[in-house]
Amino acid sequence: MELENIVANTVLLKAREGGGGKRKGRSKKWKEILRFPHISQCVELGKTIERDYASICEKQPIGRLLFRQYCEIKPNLQRCIQLLDAMEDYEVTPDEKRKSRGEQIIKTFLSKQSPQRVDIAEVFAERCRENLELSPCKEIFSECRKAAHEYLSGAPFADYQNSMYFDRFLQWKMLERQPITKDTFRQYRVLGKGGFGEVCACQVRATGKMYACKKLEKKRIKKRKGESMALNEKQILEKVNSRFVVSLAYAYETKDALCLVLTIMNGGDLKFHIYNMGTPGFEKDRVQFYAAQICCGLEHLHRESIVYRDLKPENILLDDNGHIRISDLGLAIKVPDGENIRGRVGTVGYMAPEVINNEKYAMSPDWWGLGCLVYEMTAGRLPFRARKERVKREEVERRVQEEEEEYNDKFTEDAKAICRMLLTKDPKQRLGCNVDRAVGVKAHSFFKNINFKRMEAGIVEPPFVPDPRAVYCKDVLDIEQFSTVKGVNLDQTDNDFYSKFATGSVSIPWQNEVSEHHRILKN
């Protein structure tokens, strides 16, 4: 039995490394799979595609790349793109170098004397110069950036749509819309269990890209009346585009299951690292780093009016490089504008007092959850329940509602302060729940060493990098198998639901995948 696990792990590691051959895990037929359709086949798509500048030229990776290639052939547009890049670089420049970087941008792109000046940005030169002298904050060029995008979204965007670059974009969009089936992927070992089925590693045959495939068994969904929950998770994952939340790349169906193909996180979950890697808990720099990234992920979810409601260490996963993402959005829900919701959901020990009391709330349970995580990562135990303590749910909930958490000498003053503010029982007084929201949490002294702009750009080095030769999950035979579902028949109504679910590729992750694939080929 041990041999079965060794074989499964060896095959997975080989796939993660690209299979050891020149094709980097790609199928022999990858060129055929990714062959562009003739432009004449894209005419109908050209008529129906939404012609939105922000979506096509900023958000979609291939669209952004092709629009920039178009701008490169026109010197005035090229300078505009160079200015946008310089302003983006300014925002992630370390504080001590920001002033000189800002001065360089003004001199190069906003000064009348410069041969590289951008005409539409000249009017902002004096104001940017004055603000830079007062305080070199990150927002100095925000008006200038807005003006540059407004200019590009006018005549340049209209002209781009009549160019060969836009034709190429339509060809990519046709490829993106190819049907997705189980044959799109190779399947590898089981990594764990979800609520409705197994999670296994998989690899896209065309590109060699590794993912995690979360299988939702059709009969199990129907038996548990889980259709709305499954569709809700899929739609939320589809909507969120954040480097701190797992991405949905594909949604498809097989005869027996609905499948969500998600970012693979090879580094294990925070629960494993807190309790199985030496003394329980982390050093302060790791706690700060993970808490900052979780804070960014929550901010991105909340920006879409989504409350997560299940923050706990096993739902925070590490990637190959040591960055984290929030996973398992099964309990997440969109909060209607201007309203609060009610719902007694979550995990015992992590649920906020207002959730336990079945009171109405918006985003407040997530900031309580962050407080629980900062506490647990520091102390190596939950704030209201000791590790492996055998205690009834009702007792844990009583402690959450009535008792104050205790702090040992592992907590710095800053760590104590942020935990107390996040674990405030009244949500109206809790950090993150007033008008400042995530900005207020990020401004706390606990995060004084974190540059959030650099964190959001993915250029802060993680304090810990997982071992690339390790498989951070249970042995194959230790992952309990699901029993067969009996007495459930699938009918046409179910097929209508499956068609809403199995929508194929998701634009941004798919475009990132094929862009990365083509970049590898060029290297």
What CATH number has the domain bearing residue 230?
3.30.200.20
Q: Is residue 523 scored above 50 in pLDDT?
A: no
Q: Please state the residue numbers annotated as binding site for ATP.
A: 223
Q: Is residue 523 part of a domain?
A: no
The verdict on residue 512 lying in a domain is no
- Within 8 A by CB and 6+ apart from 350, the residues are 310, 311, 312, 368, 369, 372, 382
Give me the domain span that covers residue 86: 39-163
- On whether both 241 and 313 belong to a single domain, the answer is no
Instruction: List, by residue number, the catalytic residues.
Output: 310
* Same domain flag for 377 and 319: yes
Residues 102 and 212 in one domain: no
Residue 353 lies in a domain: yes
Confirm whether 31 is domain-assigned: no
Residues 438 and 361 in one domain: yes
Same domain, 282 and 420: yes
Question: What's the rounded Cα separation, in Å, for the pair 506 and 512?
Answer: 10
pTM score, whole prediction = 0.89
One domain, residues 239 and 340 = no
pLDDT at 521: 46
Indicate the helix (H) or strand (E) that contains 301. Answer: helix 284-303
Domain shared by 280 and 409, yes or no: yes
Are both 379 and 248 inside the same structural domain? no
Rg (the chain; Cα; Å): 25
Q: What is the DSSP letter of 36?
A: P
pLDDT one-digit tens code per residue, 249-284: 999 999 989 999 999 998 989 998 998 878 899 999
Looking at the structure, tell me whether residues 272 and 258 fall in a common domain. no
* 30 domain-assigned: no
**For residue range 156-168, what is the model confidence (pLDDT) as tens digits?**
999 999 999 999 9
94 and 145: one domain?
yes
Q: Residues 459-505: pLDDT tens digits? A: 999 999 998 887 777 666 656 666 666 667 777 888 888 888 999 99
| More confidently predicted of 123 and 312 | 312
Task: Name the domain boundary from 129, 163, 197.
Answer: 163
71 and 55 belong to one structural domain: yes
Structural domains of the chain, count: 3
Give me the numbers of helices (H) and strands (E) for the chain, helices first please. Answer: 23, 10
Does some domain include residue 87? Answer: yes
Q: Are residues 259 and 281 in the same domain?
A: no
Kindly report the CATH number assigned to the domain that includes residue 107. 1.10.167.10
Kindly report, residue by residue over 13-45, the tens digit of the pLDDT. Answer: 777 777 545 566 677 778 888 889 999 999 899
